[in-house]
Amino acid sequence: MKPHTLSVLVENKPGVLSRVTGLFSRRGFNIESLAVGVCEEPGTSRITIVCIGDDAQIEQVMKQLNKLIDVIKVSDLTENDRVERELALIKVNAEPGSSRAEIMQLASIFRAQIIDVGAKTLVLSVAGETKKIDALEKLLRQYGVKELVRTGTIAILRGSKTVKSAK
Amino acid sequence: MKTGARILVEGLQREGVETIFGYPGGVVLPIYDELYDSPIRHILVRHEQAAAHAADGFARASGRVGVCLATSGPGACNLVTGIATAYMDSVPIVALTGQVPTSLLGNDAFQESDITGITMPITKHNYLVKRTEDLGHIVREAFFIARTGRPGPVLIDLPKDVSTREVEFEYSDSETVSLRGYQPTYRGHPKQIEKAVDLILEAERPLLYVGGGVISSDASPELVQLAETLGIPVTTTLMGLGAIPCDHPLNLGMLGMHGTRYANYAVTETDLLIAIGVRFDDRVTGKIDTFASQARIIHIDIDPAEIGKNKRVDVPIVGDAKSVLKDMIARVQKKKDYAKWHERIRSWKEKYPMRYRKDGALRPQYVIEELSALMKGEGIIVSEVGQNQMWTAQYYCFKKPRGWITSGGLGTMGYGFPAAMGAHFARPGETVFDVAGDGSFQMNIQELGTVSHYRIPVKVAILNNRFLGMVRQWQELFYDRRYSYTELPPVDFVKIANAYGIDGMRVEDPSEVRPALKAAIETEGPFVLDFRIEREENVFPMVPAGAAINEMIGGPCE
Ligand SMILES: Cc1ncc(C[n+]2csc(CCOP(=O)(O)OP(=O)(O)O)c2C)c(N)n1
């Protein structure tokens, strides 16, 4: 059982996301993360899904996804060379004084940006692999994370390979 | 200029639809008004569930797409059981539902329900039509999706303003359907087919395990040809009955929970299981680890998701059963001698025949045998769900595909009677029997009204045990005979039939069975037979839930 990153190319039609997520819940598959947006082909969207399962389960997930009429292509990127990114916005307690300086230092080490400065808080924006965001989050917890928002993972293959419809 | 309703009705005609089953209501009035002068015949059912089942029965009997129509909200919701039934058995139907006007969508308007949301898990695909301009294309697409690939139900939800709006519209003959996300594979991969044939020739004890997929792809002739060419025995699922004639020497009958002992023993000992158009359903496999555990497995199915879903497979072949079987037959040259295997099967058949007690009591198995003898493999037998269904599967001799219609996957009580009505419209000249339980029949008994109204010549044979028999059987065997809420008070079904203007007859003695069945067949219109059978008769043999399929209880050695 390990996380798999699936890239799902779908028709940009109403109800598609609900068909995809509904399929996961009713067939007892778990979604770890999900991110959706339009993509380079007009009229289509790309959904990146991270889900955990053994090989047989993942194969079944992919086959069931493929059965949906509005799903054009499903690829498992897990075994391929790929880059993955996630974006997080983190609002952390930062009283003026020492902690504020420490947080700003952490931000620069993680290449996070401070995108809002409040009287008692800072908002950090950080992009990267899930593990990196997890690590920063853990460090920030000691100051008190007031709010955390993550986009879910998106992924793309390295090099010239692409996930596209057959035509 | 044409209204949406007109475009819909023209679209249905272009798809070759002659009969639809439905029930009107406010938001479908524009469609009903259009139907008023259309050549399409509309059958007014008494409950929308029956409309969906009738469309399904029509589809199974004809191999074409069945169509049902209901209003929004309650009407649409009443279709749900019928749609789910069709989905589980891969039956091509198109369900049309009315919807509140687009301006009111999502407002909890009067008789609004999110039927596309509700039916998402039980349709192959569904549509909420937002623009009249799209309707013509959607109708075509819906029929295409329903009948191609692995068939299944498709729903089209039509807001009232979409059906009343007028747009410029002409059907073009050149229009075709092409969907980039939907490209079923029909031809099996030649390499895989070659591998399969090699395995068959290597095997000592091969067995064909065939199901509904062979019926829906009209692949029976090819199946029988392959079996005969090589001399491979065949066992079928409940859905596959009729794919090979019951009396064919290679036929082992049905396997699974209420299968024959010899079929289940054969599966247990086979070294090569050739699975075609089946899905390794738990009612078939019993304990999955022990199912065909000595065998290599070839699995042929049009739906790639079925292959490897429940059981690991050695040679997967994605494709249409008919096409793959043809390709296999073309490659089979040598005939192998499986004499020892046949000998083993013959000894099982001799030792464990299907048998029931003959002591002068009115037993359901006898009723089915007599029905079978009279029908001689012609006509259409539909069943309800429960013991009646299993006795019919066990004791009726099915000789042809599409002669047996039953709810296999969902096991829907109340399915049979309306499905039988639908089957009649598919093959009007043929005798249609619904074999029923008294419980199941009462689940859509109101359709006596429809049958009477249109003089639909459907015959109903109620195996009346005054119990929810199959559930009572489980209570007897596994719950210490504590018959919790499974006893039904006697009902005079003949009187009920008479109240609807339908003839009927009650039968209490075995000697009356044949004359009664004859009377039903010879009567021109519908007919209801109430067979007062032994109350606590059981279906045997039986594999207890969760056991291996060779661990059967009951049967001739009861
Ligand atoms: C709609 C529905 N409700 C409940 C069941 C569960 N069930 C399966 S068989 C059965 C009893 C059927 O009784 P009857 O129709 O009298 O047939 P018999 O088994 O006596 O032949 C029941 C309640 C079902 N299959 N479908």
Q: Name the β-bridge partners of B316.
A: B299
Q: Is the pLDDT of residue A167 over 50?
A: no
Which of B81, B283, B368, B385 for mutating ligand 1's site (highest number of atoms within 8 Å of CB)?
A: B385
B328 noted as active-site residue: no
- Overall average pLDDT of the B128-153 stretch: 98
Q: Kindly list the residues from chain B whose CB atom is less than 8 angstroms away from the CB atom of residue A73.
A: 181
- Overall average pLDDT of the A61-72 stretch: 97
- Overall average pLDDT of the B66-72 stretch: 98
| Distance (Å, whole) CA B280 – CA B210 | 10
- pLDDT tens digits, one per residue of B402-436: 999 999 999 999 999 999 999 999 999 999 999 99
Which residue, B1, B25, B3, B26, is CA-closest to B163?
B3
Return all residues near B304 (Cβ < 8 A) that are at least 6 apart.
A63, A66, B185, B316, B318
- Overall average pLDDT of the B515-533 stretch: 98
Which residue, B284, B517, B316, B466, is CA-closest to B393?
B284
Rounded to the nearest angstrom, the distance between the alpha carbon of B64 and the centre of ligand 1 is: 29
Going by their DSSP bridges, the two strands B206-210 and B272-276 should be labelled as parallel
Return all residues near B362 (Cβ < 8 A) that are at least 6 apart.
B507, B508, B509, B510, B513, B531, B532, B533, B534
What pLDDT, on a 0 to 100 scale, did the predictor assign at position A93? 96
Going by their DSSP bridges, the two strands B380-383 and B19-22 should be labelled as unpaired
Choose between A29 and B462: higher pLDDT: B462
Q: Which of B120, B124, B130 sits opposite A22 (nearest CB)?
A: B120
Which residue, B249, B288, B209, is CA-closest to B546?
B288
- Overall average pLDDT of the B302-312 stretch: 96
A166 to chain B, any CB pair closer than 8 A? The answer is: yes
Which residue, B218, B252, B221, is CA-closest to B237?
B252
Which residue, A52, A46, A70, A73, is CA-closest to A62?
A73
- Overall average pLDDT of the B325-340 stretch: 90
Q: Is the pLDDT of residue B360 over 70?
A: yes
pLDDT band at B555 (very low <50, low <70, confident <90, very high): low
Name residue B465's amino acid. Answer: N
Backbone phi and psi for residue A53, each to the nearest 5 degrees, phi listed first: 180, 170
Query: Which residue in the block uniquely carries the two structure tokens 């692995």?
Result: B150
B178 to chain A, any CB pair closer than 8 A? The answer is: no
Q: Is the pLDDT of residue A95 over 90?
A: no
- Structure tokens that stand for B109 in this block: 């308007």
- Overall average pLDDT of the A46-64 stretch: 95
| Distance (Å, whole) CA B335 – CA B341 | 15
pTM of the model: 0.97
Number of helices and strands (H, E) in chain B? 22, 20
Residue A81 gets the label, from left (phi > 0), alpha (psi -120 to 50) or beta, of beta
CA distances from B165 to B1, B69, B93, B354 (A): 9, 19, 26, 62
Q: Is the pLDDT of residue B557 over 70?
A: no
- Structure tokens that stand for B521 in this block: 């067949």
pLDDT mean across residues, chain B: 97
- pLDDT tens digits, one per residue of A9-40: 999 998 999 999 999 999 989 899 999 999 99
ipTM for the predicted complex comes to 0.92
Quick one: how far is CA B145 from the chain centroid? Answer: 19
DSSP 8-state assignment for residue A29? P
What pLDDT, on a 0 to 100 scale, did the predictor assign at position A166? 62
Q: Is B49 in the pocket of ligand 1 (CB under 6 A)?
A: no
Burial class (CB in 10 A: 0-12, 13-18, 19+), B288: middle
| Distance (Å, whole) CA B206 – CA B393 | 24
Q: Kindly list the residues from chain B whose CB atom is less than 8 angstroms away from the CB atom of residue A60.
A: 305, 308-309
